[in-house]
Amino acid sequence: MPVFIAKALGDTLLPQPYMAGIDHEVMVVTLAIDLDLAESEDFRFHVLAIGRNHGHTLAVLTNPRCIVLLVLVAGGAALAQPNLEAPASPRLGGIKFIWIPTGSFQMGSQAGSAEIESRYGGEARFFGVEHPRHGVRLTRGFWLGSCPVLNEQFEIFVKATGYRTEAEREGWGLGYDGKIGHSNKVNGLAWQHPGHRIQARQPVVMVSWNDAQAYIRWLNGGGEEGYRLPTEAEWECACRAGSASAYSFGDDASRLGEYAWFAQNAGYVTHPAGQKKPNPWGLYDMHGNVWEWCQDWMGDYPSGSVVDPKGPASGQYRVLRGGSWHSPAVYCRSANRRTYGPDSRNISLGFRLAR
């Protein structure tokens, strides 16, 4: 459970990780508290729950001298996410995780398909799957990798197990031909040689959903359990980082190059993770660089609000999110959805761990 330090500020108390650079209106409501607490310089408390709803951050906290404290921060969507964890397991190869709190958000596109096409490009017929926009409540917080899984991290798994990906076993993968603008089946492509020179800190590509599951089973067999792919709802919540806009930083696609490697700046190759700006919760490459597998089968969105959705029980295609180095800006939006079969692999498909 995360532990923060708080400062006594007159009659209000606020966790310090939320104080840096904040010019938002802050209101703290104390439900039950030891009155002597206000005289202390600082104290420790445990965070029982953190949620975000309608642009506000709400936290429930406890301390031996403080029964419950409810913190309401207006504009909380813009606050930095302070919780970072780097498990020591050698199997992980230094993967860092960011804590994603419980809360509610609107999933899907606020703009209609025709408006998306008009404003960002693409073809409206591909954007219907982003509707209807609907409320989602996540009742359990989770850890999400700060970056996609990297080549050097996937290599630890391969060396330890001798695993051969589906591309290796079948002898081919889908490469990308920038001259003709789409993928082609190419013999010999695999994660170690996807068609360009790989670097240790590039996100691993040419891995199928099935390959990602094999990697996760190996991780969970090493004494630590609970690693998995994020659900589609978890992924979008984390990508949005409290925002309701087309991207985590707003609606202006001209700023995408600050946060993402995509068709206009990537030069038709994957780039090392973490080189662009993170989103407000500290997650890198949520827009662009590589498409990321989610746990869910693809399905239509519900017409009403849902709690902890996990997608259909079965299906033909798995969900991918985020866009990649060869995606135009329209496909890097927070709400954009793409699908492939679970055995699909190409030069732009990777994944990110959740726990």
Q: Is the pLDDT of residue 344 over 80?
A: yes
Domains and CATH numbers, the chain: 3-78 (no CATH), 84-150+191-351 (3.90.1580.10)
Lowest mean pLDDT among 59-68, 118-127, 162-171: 59-68
Distance CA 79, CA 327 (A): 29
Rounded to whole angstroms, the maximal C-alpha distance in the chain is: 72
Per-residue pLDDT at 26: 33
DSSP string, 6-68: EEEETTEEEEGGGTTT--S-EEEEEEEE-GGGGGSSEEEEEEEEEEEETTEEEEEEEETTEEE
Lowest mean pLDDT among 86-90, 126-130, 180-184: 180-184
More confident residue, 23 or 284: 284
Distance CA 83, CA 4 (A): 9
Per-residue pLDDT at 70: 52
Distance CA 317, CA 139 (A): 26
Distance CA 116, CA 122 (A): 8
CA dihedral 287, 289, 294, 300 (to 10 degrees): 60
Per residue in 210-242, pLDDT tens?
Answer: 999 999 999 999 766 799 999 999 999 999 999
Pairing of strands 291-297, 349-351: parallel
Location of structure tokens 């050698």: 90
Beta-ladder partners of 62: 46
**HSE, side-chain direction, 13 A CA sphere, residue 72:** 8
pLDDT band at 203 (very low <50, low <70, confident <90, very high): very high
Per-residue pLDDT at 182: 59
Handedness of CA 282, 287, 289, 290 (dihedral sign): positive
- Phi/psi at 123 (nearest 5 deg)? -125, 130
Distance CA 205, CA 199 (A): 11
pLDDT band at 322 (very low <50, low <70, confident <90, very high): very high
Q: Is the pLDDT of residue 20 over 50?
A: no
Helix residue ranges, H only, 128-243: 151-161, 166-170, 209-220, 232-240
- Percent of the chain scoring above 70 in pLDDT: 74
Q: Is the pLDDT of residue 282 over 90?
A: yes
